[in-house]
């Protein structure tokens, strides 16, 4: 590992290497779907375990008119060594301290020059035709935002298909952010990510867009893959509390927002209590059978 990056700003990529001679297609001139410059942003901090997979998935896209930007929060684990391996194919990367993931994402949006902007972070990766399908959907629908479905992976195995449903954003975060592409102008007119949220900044962004009348189109294809992490008792409580605050901040009435809060709280509390009960009774061995039963009736789950 050669990263020793605490307070110093480091940068690289084609923009830095080529200087004034660097030029991407003019994002304002759209001669057709194939000419649309798509900016893809990866946010990372100490993401050495998986970032190479993410980078490769962007570089392997079937759609080639892509501007790729990597924003690192000052990693010290070897992340920069991996980024530098690909800096002849990354348009720009920067590594410096930031004020959290929202700040890093806003930095990426400001750096982007594409007509549309997608974000795929260091634990996630794209399907090979994700950007191509997003560009086609923009061209076909005229939408301001495009979203799609996502494949969830746990312990290296695909086990769940997350279906995006932009029509349900008033109820919960019903769109998978790694599948989202946004027209650059929408960020300018409707704002970017709020720094005050710990985990709900993507929900706030999309709900705000929706409440402002931005058209969000859904493509039924799978655009992205995500590695599942555990949801702690503290994190789900914080998540649903933030959802409540985001709803009320974006014009959803207190009573409606609180009703959804209670429903979400009951669901997560019941799931946590059920798992604890099985553990206390020594019945955790029943979980595989229970999952098979669930998978039979809920087709979002992949039966392996």
Mean pLDDT of 158-164: 90
User: Which residue matches tokens 């942003």?
Assistant: 41
Give residue-wise pLDDT tens across range 217-238.
Answer: 999 999 999 998 654 456 878 8
- CA dihedral 114→115→120→125, nearest 10 degrees, is -100
Q: How many other CB atoms sit within 10 Å of the CB of residue 242?
A: 19
Q: What are the E-state strand segments in the chain?
A: 10-12, 38-44, 66-72, 92-95, 116-119, 124-126, 145-154, 157-162, 181-183, 216-227
Q: 164 CB contacts (<8 Å, ≥6 apart)?
A: 147, 148, 149, 150, 174, 175, 176, 179, 218
DSSP count for the chain of H helices, then E strands: 10, 10
Domains of the chain: 10-231 (3.90.550.10)
Give residue-wise pLDDT tens across range 246-288.
Answer: 999 999 999 898 888 888 888 778 877 877 887 787 877 766 6
């Amino acid at each position: 590992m050669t990263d020793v990056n605490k307070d110093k700003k480091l940068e690289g990529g084609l923009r830095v290497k080529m200087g004034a001679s660097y030029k991407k297609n003019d994002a304002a001139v759209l001669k057709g779907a194939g000419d649309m410059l798509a900016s893809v942003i990866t946010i990372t901090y100490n993401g050495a375990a998986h970032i190479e997979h993410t980078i490769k998935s962007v570089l392997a896209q079937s759609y080639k008119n892509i501007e790729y930007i990597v924003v690192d929060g000052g990693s010290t684990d070897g992340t920069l060594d991996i980024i530098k391996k690909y800096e002849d194919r990354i348009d720009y990367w920067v590594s410096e301290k930031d004020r959290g993931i929202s700040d890093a994402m806003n930095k990426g949006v400001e750096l982007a020059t594409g007509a549309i902007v997608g974000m795929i972070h260091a634990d996630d990766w794209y399907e090979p035709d994700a950007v191509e399908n997003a560009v086609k959907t923009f061209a076909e629908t005229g939408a301001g935002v495009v979203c799609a479905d996502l494949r969830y992976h746990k312990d290296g195995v695909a086990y769940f298909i997350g279906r995006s449903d932009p029509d349900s954003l008033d109820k919960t975060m019903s769109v998978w952010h790694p599948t989202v592409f946004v027209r650059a102008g929408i960020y300018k007119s409707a704002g970017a990510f709020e720094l005050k949220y710990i985990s709900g900044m993507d929900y706030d962004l999309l709900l705000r867009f929706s409440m402002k009348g931005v058209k969000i189109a859904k493509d039924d294809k799978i655009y992205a893959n995500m590695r599942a992490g555990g949801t702690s008792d503290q994190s789900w409580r914080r998540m649903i509390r933030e959802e409540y605050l985001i709803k009320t901040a974006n014009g959803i009435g207190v009573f409606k927002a609180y009703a959804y809060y209670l429903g979400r709280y009951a669901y997560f509390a019941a799931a946590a209590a059920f798992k604890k009960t099985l553990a206390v009774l020594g019945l955790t061995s029943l979980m595989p059978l229970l999952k098979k039963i669930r998978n039979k009736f809920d087709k979002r789950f992949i039966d392996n």
